[in-house]
Amino acid sequence: MRVTELEFKAHPAGMGGIQATGKFENGWGYSVIQTEFSYGGPEGKYELAVLGKNGSLHYRNPVARGDVRGHLNLREVEELLNEIENFGEEVKWDDEE
């Protein structure tokens, strides 16, 4: 996925900033944000969270590494989105339903 395909909208939690969310054909999703409260947001960087097939935050995968990923530039966001998009459909980690 190219970062130019991301559709950023106003962050819905009233924190200001922007958010782009989506789901890939393999069932995995993402949330990319930039707010004054996100990791790196005040410096113009982005934070990425992996969303499991059930739509909730998913931490036990190689992209998330146990947390959200912050302090990312757009090139890094694109690289991580491509990793998520290439997770095999059969892939399942411990905390996913």
Of the candidates 86, 76, 62, 66, the one whose C-alpha atom is nearest the C-alpha of residue 32 is 76
pLDDT confidence of residue 97: 43
pLDDT confidence of residue 57: 95
List of the chain residues with pLDDT < 70 = 89-90, 93-97
| Residues forming a β-bridge with 9 | 19
pLDDT confidence of residue 93: 65
pTM score: 0.90
pLDDT confidence of residue 32: 97
pLDDT confidence of residue 79: 97
Per-residue CA distances from 23 to 36, 37, 43, 44, 49 (Å): 25, 24, 27, 24, 12
